[in-house]
Amino acid sequence: MKASFTKMSNSTAEDWQIIVPEQIAFFKKLPDRILTHLELLTGDYGGFAVDRLQHSLQTAHLAAEAGEDEEYIVCALLHDIGDTLGSANHADVAAAILQPFVSAENHWMIKHHAIFQGYNFFHFLGADRNMRDQYRDNDNFKRTARFIAKYDDPAFDPKMPALDLALFEPMVRRVFAQPKQSMYKAILND
């Protein structure tokens, strides 16, 4: 059965009784779509010593080894997921995916991680390596600088044994099970 309207403004309560269960079923498959999308990073080296998936896995692995919580580890895993569709703003894409499911601090960290990572290489590109300093007064500055220094920056190690995405699949499923903040929270948190 499908809804009958051709314009959203003409929808009825009966239409939404059809749509909502379908949308909930679609939502529950979000972790599968995220994991599938992460796989697109396989084999994409972009000139680096490891492909983008291994970089993401190494970042998450380092965070897990250091004892970070599950939400933080999933943020570390997804921090570069935007590379495929948001090559010019990958951090914004990753942050948008994570925002409904993570704390404001983790969201801010992922949204700004590219500027903070730039401290390590922007000067080689003729850009300002201190661009991150515009955020010095933000409460999340140290947290994001720490994320880069401890997890993102050292996660380009070709000598590290290849990691499998399956290691982090249960965490991804738990973090993306229910949104913490979303205008659809009441519908999706059944």
Q: What share of the chain is helix, strand, coil (3-state, %, to 5)?
A: 65, 0, 35
Q: Does residue 190 register a pLDDT over 70?
A: no
pLDDT in tens, 37-74: 999 999 999 999 999 999 999 999 999 999 999 999 99
pLDDT in tens, 2-12: 988 899 999 99
CATH ID of 29-188, from 2.60.40.10, 3.90.25.10, 3.30.300.30, 1.10.3210.10: 1.10.3210.10
Terminus-to-terminus CA distance in the chain, angstroms? Answer: 22
pTM: 0.94
